Amino acid sequence: MKKFLFIVFFSISIISHGQIDTTRQSYDWPYSMPILGKQASERGYKIQLPYGLNVNYVYNRMDLEISSFDMTIGNDPNSPLNQLISEHVTLDNLNFTNTIARSNGMNLRADVWILPFLNMYGIYANNTGTTEVSLKPTWFDEEGNLILALPEIKSSVDFAANSYGIGTTVVGKLYRDYFFSIDANMTWSHSELLKTPARLAVVSARVGDRIKVGKNSMLALYVGGMYRGFMDNDGNFGSIAIQQALPNLGSNALPAIDDKIDSNNQKIAGLDPNKPLEQKQIELLEQQNKILGELGTAFENIIASDVDYGIKKDIINNWSVQFGYNLEINKNLTIRGEFGKGTGNDFVLTGIQYRFGL
């Protein structure tokens, strides 16, 4: 098995993300990790110290799409009120037009080199952020006639989240001091707004070059790509006060409903029920008023209550291009920075790493 691992090790000429220096001079490796570290040092490969502690600041911005949404009030999802809500307050009717999530905070990362080319790590992050939502609710009758269209409603909900995750990095040499790295991790984020944690998967790949800076420092510059995606196929569930999430909903919806009912009643008063065509118009307007009345009842209860909701959101563009650097000041201390940009998403990371051996 060791022989096989060494064949893998030398066939890809690994450098750590770390970096294995290709200056070949045998030396003693006093640590138990990584596995095959002693053999690598005997062959002159300089490898990173096995253990690391990282402190990073991370900023994320992502455009989201709401792909499913439902809400209930109280413990009985089949109550008359919830039946009204499920009929009239749907994803199509709410018509979400724009959803943007922003978060920033510090994360702590502890890692260990299991093999000279394989790193495993754990993450803890404490983030705060804001979800901005814009919607333009519209309702139609059974014949497709527009009953009610509200002006665009914008809202911003602040949140705090604690995240935990695990990940792994594989690194290798391409040519001379050019290297590649592949990283994958998954995090679970817990928030007071959610009953179940949100799971996010991140996969990235980078290629770069190492440049000697001064006597003992090395600068690695790299470019790559990152994929981010939610892993919650069934969506997330939570509870929130509608006044907190959509504070302007009541002031927009209820007067508009009342005005529309009054307008319909005025039209009804001007029509002759003895004329077949006008009688049909009266029936249509009365049906619209019935829907509007039910809608008003639903909104009055929603606005005054906390609601349980289920929501599934997807990142509109999962991909971004990444640019970054690692500056190894010495064998113990590294400074890192990275910037990512894609259509509808931004990513910024800056941090410091301390490495040591045991």
Looking at residue 103, what is its pLDDT?
94
Three-class SS state of 322: strand
What are the pLDDT digits (tens) for 39-81? 888 887 778 899 999 999 999 999 999 888 888 888 788 888 8
For residue 44, give the DSSP letter: T
Residues 6+ apart with CB under 8 A from 87: 294
Q: Which residue has the tokens 């199509």?
A: 92
The parts of the chain modelled with pLDDT lower than 50 are 1-23
| Other C-beta atoms lying within 10 Å of the C-beta of residue 259 | 12
Per-residue confidence (pLDDT) for residue 24, from 0 to 100: 58
Q: Is 261 helix (H, G, I), strand (E, B) or coil?
A: helix
Instruction: Sketch the domain layout of the chain as residue ranges.
Output: 2-356
Cα–Cα distance, 10 to 174 (Å, whole number): 12
Residue type, 298: A
Chain centre distance of CA 297: 35
Tens digit of each residue's pLDDT (9 = 90 or more) over 132-150: 989 899 998 888 888 889 8
